[in-house]
């Protein structure tokens, strides 16, 4: 801990005085030529990179109203300056949302505005030189695109939009980030972020089925590529192998088992996550969405349900209909086929939390809440779910439904301090393509505000369990909790809580088989 330089957790979140360049550096590892090539980006920094970058900026501002308006509208009021967890954790002024945007905005002003062209000093316009590009690479990879700043901005300026735009400009000139781009290469090639091939997936699922049967005596299935299923379940691939994610997957399986609704996963689209969003590429993001559309068409399912993954749910909820026409309104051949195939009685796609919540409302699931009595549970609102999506089609449903599911399965639930949850939730510190060991210092420091809130809940309510519905949050917390003297195993999937308390019956199993 000392080498990273974190003292004991403060009792309240102090707004630090700025410490210039405290997080200066080279940024995360850069993508190799091979990785860049897989995504169709230049293999190395192109010769005329400045020109290419400026042209790309012009294209971006003409295609994205968000970027164009956000670059113009900021008045530097300072409302966002103390809202970013990375600023609170590092005190580097370039981690203040407005200062991060200004790295991009100053170049925009220099090249695209009257004032910046003729009076650069007056309005803080700057050239995109080597030093600026280094700052871009370093500080746009210190943004988890969590959008907390946008909640507080009087104009709704969303730093994530700027950070995505900047990352795309960098990719186009051949300066990519290794972690995100490598993962995108894998999903395009193999179908999931881990690069887990089909045979390994089959083995994993069989092992899990055995494990569940041994533990519960009930034959709960985890079907793969089943052509007769109603539901296609798309989940982050971390659910297949990592703790605590895998217990969440077991939870989904048990819920489906009890529901009697037939389901399947797909070996072709074995990934809900879509890092195309992190690198700001509409095209790459669309590819990921089309992969899932193809799986849904091939398997002939009538519903698509998404597992516990934060940004995946934002992409699925907010973008899938745009990218692949899953919800209707698109007119190409495959969209039309999909629209005919999917059951319009359900929102498409649905979140597993919505699915489970519906079953709870209908009284289909029975819980033995005492199974979770050793737990004092709190819930971490994952940023992309909290600020970029909805559940249940009711106002603020994305905050209500997960809590209701937890309360159905647990007797002891309490929330963390109000300023750190729901729309104001603090990022785990590892989102937006930063969940890599080469950024571990940033990840630990950026987790500080969330850890501080957790500490308060631990002291006030005896909280010993932190539940989340995001694969990145779960991995990040497992890693950083010990740095703040917490038990790394206190982070669980919401569906692990469901899994532990759900009363299984063999009856619904036969019902499910009958319906096959």
The Cβ of residue 54 has, within 10 Å, a number of other Cβ atoms equal to: 17
Cis peptide, bond prior to residue 244, ω within 30 of zero: yes
Instruction: Choose, by CB under 8 A, the member of 332, 459, 485, 513 that binds other proteins.
Output: 332
C-beta separation of 373 from 412 below 8 A: yes
Instruction: Tell me which DSSP letter residue 342 carries.
Output: S
Query: Which of 500, 215, 488 lies closest to 372, judged by CA?
Result: 500
Q: Which of residues 220-259 bind other proteins (CB under 8 A)?
A: none
Q: Which residues pair with 491 in a beta bridge?
A: 466
Task: Report the residue number, 246 or 315, with the smaller CB distance to other proteins.
Answer: 315
Task: Report the residue number, 39 or 490, with the smaller CB distance to other proteins.
Answer: 39
SS (H, E, C) 474-498: HHHHHHHHHHHCCCHHHEEEHHHHH
* 306: enclosing H helix or E strand: strand 303-306
Instruction: Tell me which DSSP letter residue 289 carries.
Output: H
Q: Closest approach of Cβ 356 to other proteins, in Å?
A: 18
Q: Closest approach of Cβ 383 to other proteins, in Å?
A: 10
* 234: enclosing H helix or E strand: strand 231-234
Instruction: Choose, by CB under 8 A, the member of 9, 23, 158, 201 that binds other proteins.
Output: 158
Q: Which of residues 349-368 bind other proteins (CB under 8 A)?
A: 349
Count of residues engaged in binding other proteins, rule: CB under 8 A: 86
x-or-dash string of contact with other proteins, 113-132, rule CB under 8 A: xxx---x-xxxx--------
Distances from the Cα of 26 to the Cα of 4, 223, 296, 439, 479, angstroms: 17, 45, 42, 11, 23
End-to-end CA distance of the chain: give it in Å, rounded: 54
Residue 321 binds to other proteins (criterion: CB under 8 A) = yes
Instruction: Choose, by CB under 8 A, the member of 188, 341, 478, 509 that binds other proteins.
Output: 188
Residue 379 binds to other proteins (criterion: CB under 8 A) = no
Q: Which of residues 471-500 bind other proteins (CB under 8 A)?
A: none
Instruction: Choose, by CB under 8 A, the member of 22, 216, 322, 341 that binds other proteins.
Output: 322
Tokens of residue 219, six digits: 């034959």
Q: Closest approach of Cβ 77 to other proteins, in Å?
A: 6
Q: Which of residues 411-450 bind other proteins (CB under 8 A)?
A: 422-423
Q: Which residues pair with 27 in a beta bridge?
A: none
Q: Which of residues 53-112 bind other proteins (CB under 8 A)?
A: 61-66, 68-70, 72-83, 93, 96, 98-99, 102
Residue 39 binds to other proteins (criterion: CB under 8 A) = no
Distance from C-alpha of 329 to C-alpha of 387, rounded to nearest angstrom: 25
Instruction: Choose, by CB under 8 A, the member of 276, 288, 429, 446 that binds other proteins.
Output: 288
Distance from C-alpha of 399 to C-alpha of 380, rounded to nearest angstrom: 10
Q: Closest approach of Cβ 131 to other proteins, in Å?
A: 18
Task: Report the residue number, 251 or 432, with the smaller CB distance to other proteins.
Answer: 432
Task: Report the residue number, 291 or 455, with the smaller CB distance to other proteins.
Answer: 291
Residue with tokens 């909290």: 386
């Amino acid at each position: 801990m000392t080498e990273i330089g974190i003292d004991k957790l403060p009792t309240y979140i102090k707004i630090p005085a700025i410490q210039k360049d405290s997080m200066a550096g080279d940024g995360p590892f850069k993508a190799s030529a091979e990785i860049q090539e897989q995504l169709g980006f230049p293999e190395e920094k192109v010769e005329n990179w400045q020109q290419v970058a400026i042209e790309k900026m012009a294209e971006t501002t003409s295609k994205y109203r968000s970027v164009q308006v956000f670059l113009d509208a900021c008045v530097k009021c300072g409302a966002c300056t103390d809202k970013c967890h990375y600023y609170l954790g590092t005190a580097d002024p370039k981690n203040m949302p407005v200062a991060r945007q200004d790295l991009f905005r100053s170049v925009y002003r220099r090249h695209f505005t009257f004032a910046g062209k003729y009076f650069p000093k007056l309005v803080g316009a700057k050239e995109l030189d080597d030093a600026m590009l280094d700052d871009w690479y370093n500080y746009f990879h210190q943004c988890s695109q969590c959008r907390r700043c946008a909640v507080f901005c009087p104009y709704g300026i969303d730093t994530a939009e700027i950070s995505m735009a900047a990352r795309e400009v960098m990719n186009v000139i051949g300066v990519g980030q290794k972690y995100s781009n490598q993962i995108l290469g894998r999903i395009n090639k193999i179908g999931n972020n881990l690069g887990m091939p089909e045979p390994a997936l089959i083995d994993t699922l069989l092992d899990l089925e055995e494990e569940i049967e041994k533990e519960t005596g009930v034959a709960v299935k985890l079907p793969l590529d089943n052509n007769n299923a109603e539901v296609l379940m798309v989940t982050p691939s971390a659910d297949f192998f990592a703790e605590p994610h895998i217990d969440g997957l077991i939870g989904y399986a048990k819920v489906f088992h009890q529901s009697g609704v037939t389901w399947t996963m797909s070996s072709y689209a074995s990934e809900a996550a879509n890092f195309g969003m992190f690198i700001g590429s509409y095209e790459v993001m669309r590819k990921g969405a089309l992969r899932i559309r193809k799986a849904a068409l091939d398997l002939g399912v009538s519903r698509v349900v998404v597992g516990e993954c934060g940004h995946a749910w934002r992409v699925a909820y907010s973008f899938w209909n745009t990218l692949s026409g899953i919800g209707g309104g698109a007119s190409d051949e495959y969209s039309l086929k999909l629209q005919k195939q999917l059951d319009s009685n359900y929102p498409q796609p649905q979140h597993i939390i919505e699915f489970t919540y519906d079953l709870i409302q209908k009284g289909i699931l029975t819980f033995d809440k005492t199974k979770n009595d050793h737990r004092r549970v709190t819930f971490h609102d994952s940023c992309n779910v909290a600020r970029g999506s909805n559940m249940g089609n009711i106002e603020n449903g994305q905050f209500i439904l997960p809590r209701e599911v937890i309360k159905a399965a647990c007797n002891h639930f309490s929330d963390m301090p109000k300023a750190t949850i729901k729309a104001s939730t603090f990022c785990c510190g590892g989102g937006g393509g930063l969940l890599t060991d080469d950024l571990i210092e940033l990840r630990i420091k950026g987790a500080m505000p969330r850890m501080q809130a957790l500490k308060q809940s631990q002291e006030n309510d005896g909280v010993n369990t932190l539940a989340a519905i995001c694969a990145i949050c779960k991995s990040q917390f497992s890693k950083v909790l010990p740095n703040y003297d917490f038990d790394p195993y206190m982070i669980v999937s919401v569906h692990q809580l469901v899994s532990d308390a759900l009363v299984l019956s063999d009856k619904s199993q036969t019902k499910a088989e009958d319906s096959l």
